[in-house]
Amino acid sequence: MALLELDAVSKTFSQRRGGRAVQAVAGVSVAVGKGETLGLVGESGCGKSTLARLALKLVDVTDGRVRFDGIDVTGFASRRMLPIRRRLQAVFQDPLASLNARMTIAEVMREPFDTHGVKLGAGLEARIRELLSFVGLENIDIQKLPGQFSGGQLQRIAIARALALEPEIIVADEPTSALDPSIQAQIVNLMLQIQRKRGISYLIISHDLDVIGHVADRIAVMYLGTIIEQGTADTIMQRPLHPYTQALLSAAPTLAARRQVGWKRIMLTGDPPNPADVPSGCRFHPRCHLARDICREKVPPLRAMPGTGQMVACHLAPEETARAGAEVGRARRGLAAAS
Binding-site member from 106, 145, 252, 322 for another protein (CB under 8 A): 252
Q: How far is the CB of 324 from another protein (least distance, A)?
A: 16
When the beta carbons of 101 and 122 are compared against another protein, the nearer one is: 101
Among 23, 50, 153, 201, binds another protein (CB under 8 A): 153
**Minimum separation from the CB atom of position 96 to another protein (A):** 9
Assess 248 for contact with another protein (CB under 8 A).
Answer: yes
Q: SS3 for 37? A: strand
How far CA 213 is from CA of 48, 228, 233, 238, in Å, comes to 16, 17, 6, 10
115 is a site residue for another protein (CB under 8 A): yes
Asked if 308 interacts with another protein (CB under 8 A), we say no
Is the sign of the CA dihedral 249, 252, 254, 259 positive or negative? positive
Residue 215 binding another protein, by CB under 8 A: yes
Closest distance of CB 306 from another protein, Å:
24
Nearest to 201 by CA among 30, 73, 64: 30
Kindly state whether residue 157 participates in binding another protein, applying the rule CB under 8 A: no
Establish if 90 lies at the interface with another protein (CB under 8 A): yes
Per DSSP (E only), the strands in the chain are 4-13, 22-32, 37-41, 63-68, 71-72, 88-91, 169-173, 201-206, 218-223, 226-232, 303-304, 311-312
* Number of C-beta neighbours around residue 192 at 10 A: 14
Q: How big is the CA angle at 236 (ends 230 and 241), to the nearest 5 degrees?
A: 80
The candidate with the shortest Cα–Cα distance to 331, out of 264, 286, 272, is 264
Q: Residue 318, preceding bond cis, omega within 30 degrees?
A: yes
Interface region with another protein, contact rule CB under 8 A, candidates 69-77, 145-153, 198-206, 320-328: 145-153
Quick one: 103 or 124, whose CB is closer to another protein? 103
Residue 202 and residue 172 in contact, taking contact as beta carbons nearer than 8 Å: yes
Among 181, 262, 306, 307, binds another protein (CB under 8 A): 181
Cβ-based neighbours of 182, under 8 Å, separated by 6 or more: none
Asked if residue 93 binds another protein (CB under 8 A), the reply is yes
CB of 295 to another protein, least distance (A): 18
As measured in angstroms, the least distance from the Cβ of 156 to another protein is 10
Range 39-68, binding another protein (CB under 8 A): 43-44, 53, 56, 58
Contact 173, 142 (CB under 8 A): no
Of 6 and 268, CB closest to another protein: 268
Give the number of residues in contact with another protein, rule: CB under 8 A. Answer: 79
Does residue 216 contact residue 38 with C-beta atoms inside 8 Å?
Answer: yes
* Min CB(97)–another protein separation in Å: 4
CB 206 within 8 A of CB 91: no
- Residues in region 254-283 near another protein by CB under 8 A: 254-259, 265, 267-269, 271-272, 274
Least separation, in Å, of the C-beta of 211 and another protein? Answer: 6
How far apart CA 37 and CA 286 sit, in angstroms, is 32
Q: In what order do the strands lie in the sheet with 88-91?
A: 88-91, 169-173, 201-206, 37-41, 218-223, 226-232, 311-312, 303-304
By CB under 8 A, tell whether 14 contacts another protein: no
133 scored as a contact of another protein (CB under 8 A): no
Q: Is 234 a residue that touches another protein (CB under 8 A)?
A: yes
Interface with another protein by CB under 8 A: which range of 62-70, 112-120, 278-286, 312-320?
112-120
Question: Please, how many CA atoms are within 13 Å of residue 272, restricted to the half-sphere of its CB?
Answer: 13
Q: C-beta of 226: minimal distance to another protein in Å?
A: 17
Q: How far is the CB of 205 from another protein (least distance, A)?
A: 13
